[in-house]
């Protein structure tokens, strides 16, 4: 979920920076539940495989494959997003992307979203419409859309907005690509970019808004959705999306598969660090090695997969390491060194985001 590898401070100061309170007629309290739903549904778009969309007790989504891929993510204001840092549309894009990337990481194509929303009763309707627009815009190129959900008032005394998004997907007749399929001798490959969201978060935390490219990457991740099904079709043996940090998430693959993944620092630099790019610029200004963002930063939602050696990789995939061996002490190395050692040497507090750390 934009940098999961870094927890936002949940102070109340940013909540006081919102625009002047809207007129009562423009708030959730005055419009009411069904008025809110009507305004949001008007921006939902259409899901290609939905037989019944919003408006009934439940949606009906066709499943050509006969199986449904399902995943859920929860975004909490003050921890995963801030309304003074991101527009409503940004937050909608981010909420959708976090889930759609998980569907892609199974080798599937997204078909629909369900959205649960808890918000204060004084939340402006225009803000909710912006979130709905962001959700719809992120889904539309995939032929998916929001097909249902629920709205509820936040707990008394709480100013936080909570978004819970469930994504559904279709495997297209292929087996799902699990985390547990990596085998010794496979290559490790990457699709998408790493470190940009973490870099943008570092910029925002210091009160700046440039370089714009890094900040924009934090506000609206750009997962390589098509790369997931393409990897599955090419014979990927394992796959996951990078939401909590490359070292942390490849660690899940290593553990599930009972193998050691050895990542190549130079290959990662070539894949992720544009010469004189935003990560280097911000790193130089802050005294941070940008590789720490590449290795431990989350919420870019790149995809990492393993492929049998010699497999022609689909477009957009780049080799960044190898699967060394089956080993009871499964884990991740970087140029042969333990991931934890490398992360510590770079000044990181860990290998990625720990939700209850």
Q: In terms of DSSP bridges, do strands 187-191 and 259-263 run parallel, antiparallel, or are they unpaired?
A: unpaired
pLDDT in tens, 122-131: 888 889 999 9
Q: What is the CA radius of gyration of the chain?
A: 21
Helix (H, G, I), strand (E, B) or coil at 153: strand
Cα(176)–Cα(184) distance, integer angstroms:
20
- The segment with the largest mean pLDDT, out of 147-151, 153-157, 163-167, is 163-167
pLDDT in tens, 45-70: 788 999 998 888 899 999 999 999 99
Nearest to residue 161, comparing CAs of 271, 244, 82, 69?
Answer: 82
Do 249 and 241 touch, CB atoms closer than 8 A?
yes
Q: What is the pLDDT of residue 56?
A: 84
Do 268 and 295 touch, CB atoms closer than 8 A?
yes
DSSP state of 6: S
Across 128-138, b (16+ Cβ under 10 Å) vs e yields: bbbbbbbbbbb
Cα(61)–Cα(56) distance, integer angstroms:
13
Helix (H, G, I), strand (E, B) or coil at 71: strand
pLDDT in tens, 232-249: 999 999 999 999 999 999
Phi, psi of 110 (to 5 degrees): -70, 145
* Phi-psi group of 335: left, alpha or beta (phi > 0 → left; psi -120 to 50 → alpha; rest → beta): left
Would you place residue 25 in the very low, low, confident or very high pLDDT band (cuts 50, 70, 90)?
Answer: low
Contacts of 9 (CB under 8 A, 6+ apart): 78
**Average per-residue pLDDT for the chain:** 88
- The segment with the largest mean pLDDT, out of 9-23, 28-42, 147-161, is 147-161
User: Which whole number is the average pLDDT over 256-262?
Assistant: 97
Nearest to residue 189, comparing CAs of 292, 108, 303?
Answer: 303
Residue 8 has pLDDT above 70, yes or no: no
User: Which residue in the block uniquely carries the two structure tokens 């699709």?
Assistant: 191
- For residue 234, give both structure tokens: 């090419």
H or E stretch covering 138 = helix 125-139
């Amino acid at each position: 979920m934009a940098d999961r590898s870094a927890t936002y401070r949940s102070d109340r100061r940013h909540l006081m920076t919102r625009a002047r309170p809207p007129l009562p007629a423009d708030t959730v309290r005055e419009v009411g539940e069904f008025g809110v739903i009507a305004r949001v549904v008007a921006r939902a778009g259409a899901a290609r495989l939905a037989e019944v969309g919003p408006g009934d007790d439940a949606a009906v989504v066709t499943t050509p494959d006969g199986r449904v891929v399902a995943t859920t993510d929860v975004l909490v204001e003050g921890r995963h997003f801030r309304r003074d840092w991101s527009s409503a549309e940004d937050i909608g894009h981010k909420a959708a992307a976090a889930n759609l990337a998980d569907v892609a990481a199974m080798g599937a194509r997204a078909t629909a979203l369900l959205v649960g929303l808890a918000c204060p009763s004084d939340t402006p309707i225009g803000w909710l419409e912006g979130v709905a627009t962001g959700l719809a815009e992120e889904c539309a190129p995939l032929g998916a859309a929001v097909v249902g959900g629920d709205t509820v008032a936040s707990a008394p005394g709480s100013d936080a907005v909570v978004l819970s998004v469930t994504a559904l997907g279709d495997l297209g007749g292929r087996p799902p690509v699990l985390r547990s399929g990596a085998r010794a001798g496979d290559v490790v490959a990457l699709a998408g970019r790493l470190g940009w969201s973490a870099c943008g978060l570092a910029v925002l935390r210091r009160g700046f808004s440039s370089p714009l490219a890094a900040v924009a990457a934090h506000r609206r991740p750009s997962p390589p959705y098509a790369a997931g099904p393409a990897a599955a079709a090419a014979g990927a043996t394992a796959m996951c999306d990078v939401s909590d940090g490359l070292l942390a998430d490849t660690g899940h693959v290593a553990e599930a598969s009972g193998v050691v993944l050895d990542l190549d620092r130079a290959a990662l630099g070539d894949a992720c660090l544009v010469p004189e790019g935003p990560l280097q610029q911000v790193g130089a200004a802050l005294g941070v090695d940008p590789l720490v963002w590449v290795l431990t930063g989350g919420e870019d939602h790149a995809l990492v997969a393993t492929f049998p050696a010699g497999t022609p990789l689909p477009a957009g995939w780049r080799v960044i390491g190898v699967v060394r061996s089956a080993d009871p002490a499964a884990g991740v190395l970087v140029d042969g060194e333990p991931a934890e050692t490398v992360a510590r040497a770079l000044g990181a507090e860990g290998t990625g985001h720990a939700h209850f750390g």
